[in-house]
Amino acid sequence: MKDEGGSVAKTNSGNFFEDYEIGQVLEHAVPRTVGPGERALYHALYPERRALYSSDQFARDSGLPESPLDDLAAFHVVFGKSVPDISLNARANLGYAEGRWLKPVFAGDTLRAQSEVIGLKQNSNGKTGVVWVRTKGINQRDETVIDFVRWVMVKKRDEDAPAPSTVVPNLKNALEPADLTIPSGLDFSDYDFGQAGERHRLSDYAIGEVIDHVDGVTVEEAEHMMATRLWQNTAKVHFDATQREDGKRLIYGGHVISMARALSFNGLANAQIIAGLNAGAHANPCFAGDTIRAWSEVLDTAETSAPGVGAIRLRLVATKDGSVGELKDEDGRYLPGILLDLDYWALIPL
């Protein structure tokens, strides 16, 4: 723990590709207690209206002790903690897989995060490599509340450093319904569709159905910076206008995820709880002044073991051009108006 003395650089320069090894566990710094302030800010920053996260009464009527913190807020807190160790020198956030929400996060909970390195592959240019980590969010009772894999492209510190053995983890394309964890006590048998805002239950959605969520939000620098800071995410590009010639700040991809998910209330108000993250791509960068819109495609549906609770697998797409239903060009590249392509499971009344 003892440093060599005052002359050593004190600031964190982050990890480079050659700093990672398979099986390494990184304990991320700065535990965080969340509460009613974070909840109110989430509602101020995103047009989220799902009743389970808005009303303690609705949550109790659904078998939970009170309204939890939004599932994505929990994700952002955990993700943010991993940034200084995983993605400070990242060139790109390449993907997500096998994300599972295991316990709701309630006001007063304290979250910490850790990541295990599960994959490494140096790129053929010898300058960068891909690192796969499984990141966990853990509460004050040492319970894992969230768990996901992400992989990032990281610079090498020294281009002459030898390449590690390539290990590419075997990841599921999508979680099975049986992989999902249902919050303890959840019961949608007496679900109040009127108070929730829409009357559509799982059986009203058809696989392949595309829902245009209609609304749009034009984003501002102050908002995305406040959101990203709230999650204690320290990546410079989100805050420092001198990093780019046009003075714009790159918007944290998670801000786009939360905005799109909130916009999807209109058409998916009853897809209350996020239970699994199958895949995700930040297709193009988002900047202040962009107007974010969203559409969803129903990919799958399933029953669960909990009373009245079904699962719906959704593709959630955020755009900055208002297009609906189109994703990629004929070469398989994302169209320039696409910001986000996310594949997730939500819990919804049967």
Q: Which of residues 237-266 bind its own copies (CB under 8 A)?
A: 239-242, 247, 249, 266
Q: What is the CA radius of gyration of the chain?
A: 20
Task: Tell whether residue 110 is a contact of its own copies (CB under 8 A).
Answer: yes
Cβ distance to its own copies smaller for residue 163 or 287 = 287
Task: Tell whether residue 64 is a contact of its own copies (CB under 8 A).
Answer: no
Task: Tell whether residue 221 is a contact of its own copies (CB under 8 A).
Answer: yes
Cβ distance to its own copies smaller for residue 159 or 240 = 240
Which residue of 204, 303, 328, 336 would you call a contact of its own copies, by CB under 8 A?
204
Which residue of 144, 166, 184, 195 would you call a contact of its own copies, by CB under 8 A?
195
Task: Tell whether residue 336 is a contact of its own copies (CB under 8 A).
Answer: no
* Closest distance of CB 210 from its own copies, Å: 10
In sequence order, which residues have a C-beta less than 8 Å from that of residue 293 and are 6 or more positions away?
A: 213, 214, 215, 216, 263, 318, 319, 320, 322
Which residue of 76, 134, 156, 213 would you call a contact of its own copies, by CB under 8 A?
213
Cβ distance to its own copies smaller for residue 98 or 290 = 290
Task: Tell whether residue 298 is a contact of its own copies (CB under 8 A).
Answer: yes
Cβ distance to its own copies smaller for residue 73 or 146 = 73
CA 49 from centroid of its chain's CA atoms: 18
Q: How far apart are CA 67 and CA 58, in angstroms?
A: 8
Task: Tell whether residue 54 is a contact of its own copies (CB under 8 A).
Answer: yes
**Widest Cα–Cα separation across the chain:** 66
Task: Tell whether residue 27 is a contact of its own copies (CB under 8 A).
Answer: yes
Residue 245: CB atoms within 10 A of its CB come to 7
H helix and E strand count, the chain: 7, 12
* DSSP conformation class of 61: H
Task: Tell whether residue 145 is a contact of its own copies (CB under 8 A).
Answer: no
**Stretch (H or E) spanning 227:** helix 221-230
Task: Tell whether residue 76 is a contact of its own copies (CB under 8 A).
Answer: no
Task: Tell whether residue 5 is a contact of its own copies (CB under 8 A).
Answer: yes
Task: Tell whether residue 287 is a contact of its own copies (CB under 8 A).
Answer: no
Q: How far is CA 155 from CA 129, 152, 188, 193, 315, in A?
A: 7, 10, 47, 50, 31
Q: How far apart are CA 135 and CA 43, in angstroms?
A: 26
